[in-house]
Structure 1
Amino acid sequence: MIPPDKIKADNYRYIVAEQDGLSVGYGSLDIDKGLLAATFVDPSVARQGIGRTIAEELQSIAQDNGIHLLKTYASLNAAGFYEQLGFQKQDCVDVGGESGPDIPSVLMEKQL
């Protein structure tokens, strides 16, 4: 993985997972909002622990930045993944914006 301190922009921290020289996953954390903003793993390498490693590293970064309650908006198919990481469902919401359609999602939270 590329160290998170090498990839950051203002209030965001990013992690990129590499395997055999190729990027196979990434994650991001919004420090100001206490929001795990994204975790993605290429389907060709799914279920190898890459997503868990990314999410756990981002949780550690959140703790190091004084975040005690971490939130994420999980797509419906990813809610189980986050539950396995200790997140709890809070509410069903639609996530989207002016540039795209609303996506049914689940607001999830985890005490750190």
Structure 2
Amino acid sequence: MASEHPLRPAKPSDTEAILVVHVAAIIAHGPSAYTDEQVAAWAAKPEGTDRYTNAIEDSSTELVVAETDGRVVGFGKLDVERGEVEAVFVDPERNGEGIGSAILNHFEQRLRDEGFEVVRLRAVLNAVGFYERQGYERVARVTNTTTNDVDVDSVWLEKSL
């Protein structure tokens, strides 16, 4: 599956497409685990594409995109220094094609290469099942405050590499 969706480092010209995928995935999947207010706050990206541009420029972060037919269909963000996957999002129209798994596998291999023995991530509630199917185990449930002071629960998960 991974060969159908080649991964590459994100470029500044990808940031608009990354934002579109990010918000579309939140709107499509968020309501299965969160209230309308929580989804709206999570999907609100007042900083626009800045977070993606900053990740591209930050040497401690790896931002990758999955591309199909020249179109960004998924992205992921890895904090290489902390060994934490910070984001894996897929275009909702492309769910089930192995894109998220390909991104996650890429990050796990990168961390193995960097000498990490464990990978950590904080998953939104609607994505916990995906990560558990990838071999991750729940560590703790936490609450974070997002845009407009709205609280959103998530789960820390870990996997031995």
TM over 0.5: yes
| Residue identity matched to 1:80 | G
| 1:40 equivalenced with 2:89 (yes/no) | yes
Structure possessing the higher radius of gyration over alpha carbons: 2
**Deviation digits for residues 15-42 of structure 1 (CA, Å, limit 9, x no counterpart):** 1001111101001110111101100001
Q: Is the 8 A contact 2:8 2:66 kept in 1?
A: no
In structure 1, the gaps of 5 or more residues are none
Identity, in percent, stands at 37
| 1:100 to 1:16, Cα distance in 2 relative to 1, 3 A | farther
In structure 2, what is the equivalent of residue 25 of structure 1? 74
Q: CA RMSD in A?
A: 2.0
- Partner of 2:126: helix, strand, or coil? coil
1-structure distance, mates of 2:110, 2:81: 12
Higher share of residues assigned helix: 2
What is the CA-CA distance between 1:96 and the residue it aligns to? Answer: 3.5
Higher share of residues assigned strand: 1
The number of equivalent residue pairs is: 112
So what's the TM-score if we normalise by structure 1?
0.89
Q: Is the 8 A contact 2:146 2:152 kept in 1?
A: no
1-structure distance, mates of 2:10, 2:91: 23
So what's the TM-score if we normalise by structure 2?
0.63
Stretches (4+) displaced over 6 A: none
In structure 1, what is the equivalent of residue 8 of structure 2? 3
In structure 1, what is the equivalent of residue 117 of structure 2? 68
